[in-house]
């Protein structure tokens, strides 16, 4: 049993690590085509971002691996595979519920990590990226990585989700983590500055967090930032 759990954790670590290298690599390459020279002279910072991110991959991989094992061996999770198990309208709703729960956890744990004492311990590593690059997506101190590693494994135990929709959630998580840090806005201006954009976080929003530290704490949505008066609008990446 222990061997099976370990194997699952190792496999998940490898998957998360490779996913990171592949996706960040693709966006770094796109950046080099679209914004030549944006990362010039940043090799030392990028090496450190990759190092911390790969360490985070192991921290994310272990709880994910344990839950994946429990799902396969004991049916622990509420992940379902048949399209008929829940109504079709629940598919997009489940994606939203996952993103909103993750965003809520992120917003409050992130604010907590900006208390100076905890900042030094847990969050200074992430803010050492000045400005961040596409490689900073998982550049976290192990304490911060740990704070984020349990959320999806915990949610799959509680909120039903179709396997494919879980894939959508993980894809959004991965892509937003990169695009919010890569230093330029990938999404069209009309969307970023639209009424919908008022509620969504993209590079222009998170970049300001990396400049200012005391605002824009959210991950996907600006809901908590608006509600708590911590939203300071967009920067111009
Ligand atoms: Zn960041
Ligand atoms: Zn921060």
Q: pLDDT tens across 158-198, in order? A: 999 999 999 999 999 999 999 999 999 999 999 999 999 99
Antiparallel, parallel or unpaired: β 161-162 and 79-80: parallel
Ligand index nearest the alpha carbon of residue 216? 2
Please tell me the distance between residue 219's alpha carbon and the centre of ligand 1 in angstroms: 9
Whole-number pLDDT of residue 167:
98
Ligand number nearest to the C-alpha of 203: 1
What's the token pair of residue 204? 């222009």
Given the structure tokens 């996907």, which residue do they identify? 220
Please tell me the distance between residue 6's alpha carbon and the centre of ligand 1 in angstroms: 31
This prediction's pTM: 0.95
- Max distance between CA atoms of the chain, in angstroms, equals 53
pLDDT for res 236: 80
CA distance 42 to 38: 9
Contact call for residues 137 and 52 (beta carbons, < 8 A): no
CA of 213 to the centre of ligand 1 (A): 10
Give the pLDDT confidence score for residue 1 in this predicted structure.
Answer: 85
The residue ranges of every structural domain in the chain are 2-227
The number of the ligand nearest the C-alpha atom of 130 reads 1
Nearest alpha carbon to residue 17 among 46, 59, 47: 59
215 C-alpha to ligand 2 centroid (Å): 9
Distance 83 CA to ligand 1 centre (A): 36
pLDDT at position 7: 96
Q: What share of the chain is helix, strand, coil (3-state, %, to 5)?
A: 70, 5, 30
Cβ–Cβ < 8 Å for 52, 140: yes
Measured in Å, residue 145 CA sits from the centre of ligand 1 at 12
pLDDT at 163: 97
| C-alpha dist (Å) from residue 141 to 12, 68, 166, 170 | 19, 24, 26, 21
pLDDT at residue 153 in the model: 97
Please report, in tens digits, the pLDDT of each residue of the chain (237 residues total): 899 999 999 999 999 999 999 999 999 999 999 999 999 999 999 999 999 999 999 999 999 999 999 999 999 999 999 999 999 999 999 999 999 999 999 999 999 999 999 999 999 999 999 999 999 999 999 999 999 999 999 999 999 999 999 999 999 999 999 999 999 999 999 999 999 999 999 999 999 999 999 999 999 999 999 999 999 999 887
Q: What pLDDT does residue 66 have?
A: 96
What is the distance in A from the centroid of ligand 2 to the CA of 73? 38
């Amino acid at each position: 049993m222990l061997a099976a759990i370990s194997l699952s954790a190792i496999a998940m670590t490898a998957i998360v690590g490779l996913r990171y290298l592949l996706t960040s690599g693709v966006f770094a390459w796109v950046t080099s085509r679209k914004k030549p020279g944006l990362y010039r002279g940043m090799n030392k910072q990028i090496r450190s971002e990759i190092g911390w991110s790969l360490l985070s991959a192991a921290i994310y991989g272990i709880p994910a691996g344990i839950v994946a094992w429990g799902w396969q061996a004991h049916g622990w999770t509420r992940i379902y595979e048949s399209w008929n198990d829940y109504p079709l309208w629940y598919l997009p709703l489940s994606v939203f519920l996952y993103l909103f729960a993750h965003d809520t956890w992120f917003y409050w744990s992130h604010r907590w990590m900006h208390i100076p004492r905890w900042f030094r311990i847990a969050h200074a590593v992430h803010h050492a990226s000045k400005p961040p690059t596409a490689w900073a997506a998982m550049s976290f101190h192990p304490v911060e990585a740990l704070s984020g590693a349990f959320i999806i494994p915990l949610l799959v135990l509680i909120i039903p989700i179709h396997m494919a929709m879980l894939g959508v959630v993980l894809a959004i998580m991965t892509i937003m983590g990169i695009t919010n840090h890569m230093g330029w806005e990938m999404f069209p201006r009309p969307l970023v500055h639209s009424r919908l954009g008022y509620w969504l976080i993209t590079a222009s929003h998170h970049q300001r967090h990396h400049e200012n530290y005391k605002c824009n704490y959210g991950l996907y949505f600006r809901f908590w930032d608006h509600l708590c008066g911590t939203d300071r609008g967009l920067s111009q990446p």
